[in-house]
Amino acid sequence: MVKALLLTVVLLSTLGSAGCRKSKPPEIDICILDGVGGSDCILRQGSALRKVCIVDAEGRFYCPPSTMENMWSTTPSDMEAWSSWCYGTSRKNVKNHMKGVKQYLTH
């Protein structure tokens, strides 16, 4: 019985880790909408938005409403849920990191 349980644990841990991604996810643009159509953003290198958005002295971007056409957005709660699932971490951990991004962009 103990051997069967041990074998099950080994198999599950081996099979479970076989499907894990080891690569780094692609960088993305991260924007917080301002309520009037524009957005405060952190833009990745090579982003098309870098050419049309305004950058401040600290490297933060403001993208006016005209640049946000066809931009996708989601709620903080949905992003928190998706990120915690995707990266296998707690929603609390994700929420803390999202709070840091928001503070950086809005201050």
Considering the domain boundaries, does residue 11 fall inside one?
no
pLDDT at 19 over 80: no
Considering the domain boundaries, does residue 105 fall inside one?
yes
Average confidence (pLDDT) over 6-32: 61
Name the band, by pLDDT with cuts 50, 70 and 90, for residue 58: confident
Domain count, the chain: 2
Average confidence (pLDDT) over 83-88: 88
Considering the domain boundaries, does residue 5 fall inside one?
no
* Amino acid symbol at 55: V
- Helix %, strand %, coil % of the chain (to 5): 50, 10, 40
Residues 56 and 94 occupy one common structural domain: no
Which domain does 43 fall in, by range?
26-72
Name the band, by pLDDT with cuts 50, 70 and 90, for residue 67: very high
In 24-79, the DSSP E strands lie at 30-33, 39-42, 54-55, 61-63
